[in-house]
Amino acid sequence: GENVEQHPSTLSVQEGDSAVIKCTYSDSASNYFPWYKQELGKGPQLIIDIRSNVGEKKDQRIAVTLNKTAKHFSLHITETQPEDSAVYFCAASSNDYKLSFGAGTTVTVRA
Amino acid sequence: GAVVSQHPSRVICKSGTSVKIECRSLDFQATTMFWYRQFPKQSLMLMATSNEGSKATYEQGVEKDKFLINHASLTLSTLTVTSAHPEDSSFYICSARKQGGPDTQYFGPGTRLTVL
C-alpha cells in the first residue's frame, strides 16, 4: 500500500516568515495530493490540493509543488500569521480514493 | 459549499455499551463516505470505506463486527461501536466524497468517544 512520509514533525517560525513542509510517497499510481489543516479538537480542513497533471498550484499565501518523478510534494506558506498555527497533514490517493496520510507537522507561528 | 456534520460531537459511555455516530453531508450527495480514527498526537487512520447501498469495505486489522457501518442514503452514514471498551476511546472522523465529483474528501468535525 501507499506510504506517505512527512517532515518536519514540528516547525516553529517567526510571524511573517515562510513555512515549508515536505512529503514523499511510495506508490507511483498516486495521482491526488491534498493538504489538510487541523486545529485542536476539530476535523481536518482542506486547504489546497494538487493532481498529478499539475506541477504547482497557488492560492493566496499557500502553494503546493509536486515532483512526480521524485515522488515528493511540498506545502509552502508565505507571510505566516499566528492563525496559521495548527497541525498540517499531507495525503496521497490513487483511483480508489483512499487517502494515506502523513504523520503531521505541528506548526507554531511566533508573534 | 461542502459541509459535513457529525453527531454527537463527544460521547462518554460505560464499557460494554454500544455507541452510534452519525455522519451527514449537508449540502451535497455523497456516494462514498470514509471513517477514520485518530489517537492523540497521531495521524488519521482509515478504518473503512462506506458506499451507499452496499457493504462497507474495512481496512486490514479493523473488526467489521465491532465497528458496524451503515450507509443507507446519499447523505448519511453511521458508525456503531459495539461493546465498547476503554481501548476504543479515540477521535472518530468521517469524510465524504461528492457524488460524481472528483476525489476531494470533505471532513466532519469529529466525535470524541470516551469509554469508561
Chain segment B32-86, per-residue pLDDT in tens: 999 999 999 999 999 999 988 888 999 999 999 999 999 888 999 999 999 999 9
Q: CA of A44 to nearest chain B CA: how many angstroms apart?
A: 6
Q: What is the mean pLDDT of chain B?
A: 93
- Mapping DSSP to helix (H, G, I), strand (E, B) and coil, where does residue A99 land? coil
Q: What are A41-96's pLDDT values in tens digits?
A: 999 999 999 998 889 999 999 999 999 999 999 999 999 999 999 999 999 998 77
Q: Which pLDDT belongs to residue B54?
A: 85
Restricting to A residues 14-73, those with a Cβ less than 8 Å away from any Cβ of B are 32, 34, 36, 41-46, 49
Of all residues in chain B, the percent with pLDDT exceeding 90 is 81
By CB atoms closer than 10 A (0-12, 13-18, 19+), residue B52 is: middle
What value does the mean pLDDT take over residues B87-98? 95
**Does B107 touch chain A if contact means CB atoms closer than 8 Å?**
yes
Q: What is the pLDDT of residue A22?
A: 98
Give A49's contacts (C-beta < 8 A, 6+ positions apart): A32, A33, A34, A35, A57, A64, B104
Nearest CA in chain B to A96: B103
**Nearest 5°: CA angle at A105, between A103 and A111?**
165
Flag if B105 and A99 touch (Cβ within 8 Å).
yes
Which pLDDT score, from 0 to 100, does residue A43 have? Answer: 95
Cβ-defined contact of B44 to A46 (cutoff 8 Å): no
Q: Is A111 on the interface with B (CB under 8 A)?
A: no
Cβ under 8 Å to A: B residues 20-79: 32, 34, 42-46, 49
Grid coordinates given for A3: 506510504
DSSP 8-class letter at A46: E
Q: Residue A95: its pLDDT value, please?
A: 78
Determine whether the interchain pair B105/A104 forms a contact, defined as Cβ–Cβ distance below 8 Å.
no
Nearest to A103 among B43, B46, B102 (CB): B43
Which pLDDT score, from 0 to 100, does residue A9 have? 97
pLDDT beyond 80 at B28: yes
Does the pLDDT at position B1 exceed 80? Answer: no
